[in-house]
A and B are shown apart, each in its own frame.
Chain A
Amino acid sequence: MNFAAEKKLSRRTALLGGLCLCCVPTRPRAEALSSSQPAAMVEVSPGIHVRQGLTEDATAGNFDAIANLGFIIGRDAVAVIDPGGSLHDGRSLRLAIRARTQLPIRYVVLSHVHPDHVFGAAAFKDDAPIFVGHAELPQQLAARGAFYRDGLEKILGAGEVGEVITPTMLVARDKPAELDLGGRGLVLTAHQPAHTVSDLSVLDKQSGILFAGDLLFVGRTPSLDGDLKGWLKELAALRDSGVRQTVPGHGPPLVPMQDAVAPLERYFTVLRDETRAAIAKGTPIEEAATTLALSERPHWAMFDAYNGRNVIEAYRRLEWE
């Protein structure tokens, strides 16, 4: 075994959009591509299927299958809401769809720019769907896609990460759009800068269930890559939206809206207030990163991996507010 080579690989650490792609060496690839199995889905409501992501960071062993993915089956067609974090992840979602329906996959919705949500898109290319995203998403992918892809390839191996696919149907912030799956309408809302600047949510009118993307993290520490104050505003809007059940970007497949929103509002309020106080007091950013918002630690998985970064992100912006 070549220890030097393995060390080189394992030395890579990349921060991808606030998501840690940690230092796990790539595993032998021989079995990887051939082993796509249908993803394990939960039918949270008739025709709405969700694959729960792992509470882990991307590793070669998990194919970046860390985000919640879903699809909705209408009378005439299927819509995918987040195609997955890698080619493998996208393929297994596609197999899960085909195990349930042969209807055309007409839409693939990309909820935002982060790698764990978009790099499975290429697995759906042959279906020739319409790729849908926030109006800001093409620019975001142009600026970050190659950077994310390089980082993820170092972990998963070349060829495992799908190409960057740019959406062609865009949703503007002030103009919600609607998709029709045949007697089943989906309302797409492009949000203000919050988790990222490209957050898009999908409401299934029939069930009233909202696919919130990473506007909602349940159980897993959220990663801040957009606008802390903006995110708090979007959370308040979700809380008051009348939507009762939601599929979060990370966490259980379906949760009551209030259960998802309340802990996030509490965490971000603590983060904002303690960061402001630290800036006012002159607490250095490196000290803030390890000392702020620690009262939240018992409430979140992977807290130590993300809270410090969230503090840094909040700090660097709030010092210019």
Chain B
Amino acid sequence: MKRLLMVALLMVSGINYAVADDEMAEREARWRSVATDIFGERAIEDGSTLLKLKVPEQAMNAALVPISVELIGDRPITTVSVVIDNNPMPLAGRFKLGPAFVRDDIKMRVRVNEYTLIHAVAETDDGKLYAVSHYIKAAGGCSAPDARASADVLARMGKMQLRRERSSDLTQVPTRLLISHPNYSGMQQNASGDYTPARYLERVSVSVGGAKVFDMEGGISLSEDPSIAFSYVPKGDGEVEVKVQDSSAAQFLQHFDALK
């Protein structure tokens, strides 16, 4: 009996290993192909001393998955990219960081279309790339019908909110930028059964008192009503300027007074 059990256990674990190997190889191949598309043939090293990626194991809502990338250590980082490997448009956001960016967390809400690795990739000032990854179980996020219940929400397209925290540390302002935008993925059906054409945030630029916080390149992997959290270095009375351009070339500009 004991021996039978052993054999069974071995068989089970053997099969499990085989599955895991297959899957690992599949994920690795997908990442290589996606990384080549985005970063070319450049080498990408382990980034666990530069970045910490927080992703839920399983999403509660695949069309709105909150994730965060924490910048750790002190090597200068110029760019942070978030890549959702198995999404139809994997690059969710590429942040070119400016002098007014505080080295802390970047948080965003993304869509996840199927079970996938998510990668965060940092580029250091010497032009090298470093990546960390996390697997997530979620599906259907890109094709999930848009959640807007009434027409008034379309009327607020392009409206923005800047939610800032007053902290005791005067050298940085924890901030969350909310942009009202459907960020249509092109995979969502509408009331007539047609696919709503893709219309997504292409570029989000944030500066304070003329100093750049970041320029972000977006995509369909950002959730509806995108939300981006970061911290910036205040510049006296300098106001915060947010410029947004979507893939239909619509531009939205908003200024926010310095936090008093």
Chain B: interface residue count, which band? 35 or more
Q: Is B247 an interface residue (CB 8 A)?
A: no
Looking at the complex, which one of B138, B146, B190, B225 makes contact with A142 (CB distance below 8 Å)?
B190
CA distance A3 to B17 in the complex (A): 11
Q: Do the beta carbons of A309 and B61 come within 8 Å of each other? A: yes
Q: Do the beta carbons of B61 and A142 come within 8 Å of each other? A: no
Main secondary structure of the interface of B (DSSP, over half): loop
Q: Do the beta carbons of B66 and A286 come within 8 Å of each other? A: yes
Chain B residues with Cβ below 8 Å from A3 are 15-16, 18-19
Q: Do the beta carbons of A143 and B189 come within 8 Å of each other? A: yes
Known: A316-B147, A316-B225. A14 touches B190 (CB 8 A): no
Q: Do the beta carbons of A147 and B137 come within 8 Å of each other? A: no
Chain B residues with Cβ below 8 Å from A316 are 64, 147, 224-225
Q: Is B134 an interface residue (CB 8 A)?
A: no
Chain A residues with Cβ below 8 Å from B144 are 15, 147
Q: Do the beta carbons of B64 and A193 come within 8 Å of each other? A: no
CB proximity to B under 8 Å, residues A292-321: 308-309, 312-313, 316, 319-320
Q: Is A13 an interface residue (CB 8 A)?
A: yes
- Report the minimum CB–CB distance from B176 to chain A (whole Å): 7
Q: Is A11 an interface residue (CB 8 A)?
A: yes
- Report the minimum CB–CB distance from B210 to chain A (whole Å): 27
Q: Is A284 an interface residue (CB 8 A)?
A: yes
Q: Is B149 an interface residue (CB 8 A)?
A: yes
Chain A: interface residue count, which band? 20 to 34
- Report the minimum CB–CB distance from B173 to chain A (whole Å): 12
- Report the minimum CB–CB distance from A117 to chain B (whole Å): 17
Name the residue in A11, A139, A144, A286 with the highest tally of chain B Cβ atoms < 10 Å from its Cβ.
Answer: A286
Chain A residues with Cβ below 8 Å from B180 are 320
Q: Is B209 an interface residue (CB 8 A)?
A: no
- Report the minimum CB–CB distance from B256 to chain A (whole Å): 16
Q: Do the beta carbons of B176 and A282 come within 8 Å of each other? A: yes
Known: A15-B144, A320-B156. A143 touches B19 (CB 8 A): no
Q: Is A151 an interface residue (CB 8 A)?
A: yes
Closest chain B residue, CB of each to CB of A194: B149
Known: A142-B193, A286-B66, A312-B64. A11 touches B115 (CB 8 A): yes
Closest chain B residue, CB of each to CB of A13: B139
CA distance A223 to B165 in the complex (A): 32
Q: Do the beta carbons of A319 and B189 come within 8 Å of each other? A: no
Q: Is A7 an interface residue (CB 8 A)?
A: yes
Q: Do the beta carbons of B61 and A313 come within 8 Å of each other? A: yes
Closest chain B residue, CB of each to CB of A287: B66
Q: Do the beta carbons of B229 and A284 come within 8 Å of each other? A: yes
Q: 1/0 per position for B140-160, CB-CB distance to A under 8 A?
A: 100111110110010010000
Chain B residues with Cβ below 8 Å from A7 are 19
Q: Is B228 an interface residue (CB 8 A)?
A: no
Name the residue in B107, B140, B176, B192 with the highest tally of chain A Cβ atoms < 10 Å from its Cβ.
Answer: B140
Q: 1/0 per position for B246-258, CB-CB distance to A under 8 A?
A: 0000000000000
Q: 1/0 per position for A1-18, CB-CB distance to B under 8 A?
A: 001100100011111000
Chain B residues with Cβ below 8 Å from A309 are 60-61
Q: Is A285 an interface residue (CB 8 A)?
A: yes
Known: A142-B189, A142-B192. A282 touches B19 (CB 8 A): no
State the A residues within 8 Å of B (CB): 3-4, 7, 11-15, 139-140, 142-144, 146-147, 151, 193, 197, 226-227, 282, 284-286, 289, 308-309, 312-313, 316, 319-320
Q: List 18 A-B contacts (CB under 8 A).
A: A11-B137, A13-B137, A15-B60, A142-B191, A144-B189, A146-B193, A147-B143, A147-B189, A227-B150, A284-B107, A286-B56, A309-B60, A312-B60, A313-B61, A316-B225, A319-B161, A320-B156, A320-B180
